[in-house]
Structure 1
Amino acid sequence: MTLPQSLSDFEGRWNLTRVIRDARAGHVVRADGIAILSRSDDGLVYDEDVTLRLPGQPAMKGTRRYLWRDGGDGIAVHFDDGRFFHRLKLGKTFASDHHDCPPDSYYAEYDFSNWPHWKVRWIVSGPRKSYEMDTEFMLR
């Protein structure tokens, strides 16, 4: 089985599909688009461009950016303003981490069992949020 071993293994263009099950709002949001991980001076820049489909509403565009840095035994993921978000350990089939954003809590589960097709699940809970977000990535 091949697993990602370094930051550079993620460089490239990825098709992505996403399902967000929002328990608080009581609906399911679907999204698809691309994620481009491009080399920068100190790692990779993750740029995402998706089309979101909410029940009963017209489709809308969504974007996000993260900074991926070498984290020793994995990847340190930062928000685009440089604040630390979470760590992704490499060399394993599954990896997980937790991010507190009081009063909400974010838990990530990465699945590399079918690399270079990979998945990430976010479980978000707190007084303001309650959702699960599953995203699948496939190299273009």
Structure 2
Amino acid sequence: VAWVPRTAAGLRSYWRGNWQLAKEMSYERGGLSGTFTGRAEFSAIDDGWLAYAESGVALLGSDTFEARRSLLYQHGCTGPVRCYFDDSPEARTVEARIEAARFFHDISLEASEPFLHPCGPDVYSGRLIFESADAFRFDWRVTGPRKQGV
């Protein structure tokens, strides 16, 4: 792909708005394989911060259910874009929401190495891939004694 955001501000601008979302999960060990389809929205909540909210339908094993997830992305002027679990999307103030967030991983737009997230004895390894000016994806792999999959 010839076009990719080169800065945190460029990524913030690229992401803002609504997206269609599709996920596939396939585990050899420790997880349920399945799919998720729905919508995602990136919206500005503070200077340098985007809130990410996804909602849709998950099919895991033989179970189908509605699912949601919230993340926060901090787009500073320098350094990596920082991703956090948004544990308080209903917080009364933006400050309280940011304060309650838990670090997930960094995204370096300059480096090609994957971003890592340790989860107990397992490690999630992710990459942000730009497919076009209108499509991107995260590729995740988990390896460890409890889980193995994509």
The TM tier, using the shorter chain, reads: 0.7 to 0.9
Give deviations 1:40-93, integer Å, cap 9, x for gaps: 014100011021112323x1011111110014244111111322111112367x
- What residue in structure 2 maps to residue 29 of structure 1? 34
The amino acid of 2:33's aligned partner reads: V
Aligned length: 130
**Greater relative contact order (Cα < 8 A, sep 6+):** 1
Whether contact under 8 Å (2:21, 2:39) holds in the other structure is: yes
Aligned match for 1:86, one of 90, 105, 109: 105
Give deviations 1:97-135, integer Å, cap 9, x for gaps: 111122121100111142321111111122222220xxx
Task: State how far apart, in whole Å, the 1-side matches of 2:137 and 2:25 are.
Answer: 13
The amino acid of 1:31's aligned partner reads: F
- What residue in structure 1 maps to residue 22 of structure 2? 17
Unpaired runs of at least 5, structure 1: 133-140
- What residue in structure 1 maps to residue 74 of structure 2? 69
The amino acid of 1:87's aligned partner reads: D
Task: State how far apart, in whole Å, the 1-side matches of 2:25 and 2:36 are.
Answer: 8
Structure (1 or 2) with the greater strand fraction: 1
Unpaired runs of at least 5, structure 2: 87-99
Task: State how far apart, in whole Å, the 2-side matches of 1:26 and 1:83 are.
Answer: 23
- What residue in structure 1 maps to residue 94 of structure 2? none
Task: State how far apart, in whole Å, the 2-side matches of 1:91 and 1:113 are.
Answer: 17
Greater gyration radius: 2
Give me the identity figure in percent.
29
1:126 aligns with 2:144: yes
- What residue in structure 1 maps to residue 115 of structure 2? 97
The amino acid of 1:54's aligned partner reads: L
CA RMSD of aligned residues (A): 2.1
Task: State how far apart, in whole Å, the 2-side matches of 1:38 and 1:129 are.
Answer: 32
Structure (1 or 2) with the greater helix fraction: 2
Whether contact under 8 Å (1:3, 1:91) holds in the other structure is: no
